[in-house]
């Protein structure tokens, strides 16, 4: 439970929550609900000081793993980080199977990764991210060869790969599409 502290030694303290008096005459107050808390402290000489604080209680940690990711097999793997939650418990799954209890992981295969974080105070954060790791393209034009300019031109053909685009170059210079 969070504890509010008036921050000053006094002979009396008057606490309220949302304008209603609380029967506490102590420097500190343990809170269990949200609201506007006010304390008025009175010194031995009768001087007073007061302060108010708004306390919001949320059971949601607001975990956000970001947008879904698509990458190629040889690309560097992104770090999936569930955030810094001191004293928190972390559980990562991929497609429902346990992966790790670490705060951050590197995805090793495609799937739906879900992070569940529980703080030491019992707040929970859950988010998911779909990681798609595509296969590396293998392009093979065959063995090197020579030809004579007076002979007919030899055609080169790249393998057909659905959805792929092709850029042809000669000695580092991009050739126009024909």
Read off the pLDDT of residues 94-122 as tens digits, 9 standing for 90 and up. 999 999 999 999 999 999 999 999 998 88
Which of 83, 107, 79, 78 lies closest to 93 in space, CA to CA?
107
59 confidence band (pLDDT: 50, 70, 90): low
Nearest 5°: phi and psi at 38?
A: -130, 140
Residue 77 and residue 128 in one domain: yes
Contacts of 99 (CB under 8 A, 6+ apart): 92, 93, 105, 113
pLDDT for 178 beyond 60: no
User: What's the CA gap between 91 and 114, in Å, rounded?
Assistant: 8
Strands 69-72 and 124-134: parallel
Residue 73 and residue 130 in one domain: yes
Residue 83 and residue 108 in one domain: yes
pLDDT for 129 beyond 80: yes
* Prediction pTM value: 0.56
Residue 50 and residue 22 in one domain: yes
Number of domains into which the chain is organized: 2
Helix (H, G, I), strand (E, B) or coil at 65: coil
Using the 8-state DSSP alphabet, how is residue 50 labeled?
E
Residue 50 and residue 83 in one domain: no
Helix (H, G, I), strand (E, B) or coil at 51: strand
Burial label, 39 (beta-carbon count in 10 A; 0-12, 13-18, 19+): buried
User: What's the CA gap between 14 and 48, in Å, rounded?
Assistant: 10
What would the two tokens of residue 147 be?
């030809």
83 confidence band (pLDDT: 50, 70, 90): very high
Using the 8-state DSSP alphabet, how is residue 60 labeled?
B
Domain containing 119 equals 69-134
Cβ–Cβ under 8 Å, residues 115 and 64: no
What would the two tokens of residue 145 be?
């060869």
Indicate the range of 46-60, 77-91, 124-138, 164-178 predicted with least confidence. 164-178
User: What's the CA gap between 10 and 8, in Å, rounded?
Assistant: 6
Inside any domain, residue 158: no
Inside any domain, residue 165: no
pLDDT for 90 beyond 90: yes
Cβ–Cβ under 8 Å, residues 115 and 127: yes
pLDDT on residue 163: 76
Cβ–Cβ under 8 Å, residues 8 and 44: no
Identify any residues that bridge with 72 across adjacent strands, giving them in sequence order: 134
């Amino acid at each position: 439970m969070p504890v509010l502290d008036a921050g000053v030694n006094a002979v009396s303290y008057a606490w309220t929550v949302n304008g209603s008096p609380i029967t506490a005459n102590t420097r500190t107050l343990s809170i269990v609900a949200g609201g506007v808390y006010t304390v008025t402290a009175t010194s031995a000489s009768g001087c007073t000081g007061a302060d108010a604080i708004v306390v919001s209680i949320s059971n949601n940690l607001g975990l956000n793993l970001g947008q879904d990711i698509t990458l190629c097999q040889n690309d560097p793997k992104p770090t999936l980080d569930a955030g810094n939650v001191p004293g928190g418990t972390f559980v990562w799954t991929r497609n429902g199977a346990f992966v790790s209890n670490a705060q951050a992981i590197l995805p090793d295969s495609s799937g739906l990764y879900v992070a569940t974080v529980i703080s030491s105070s019992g707040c929970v954060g859950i988010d998911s991210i779909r990681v798609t790791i595509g296969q590396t393209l293998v392009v093979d034009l065959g063995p090197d060869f020579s030809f004579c300019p007076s002979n007919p031109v030899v055609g080169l053909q790249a393998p057909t790969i659905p959805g792929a685009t092709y850029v042809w170059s000669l000695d580092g210079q991009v050739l126009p599409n024909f």
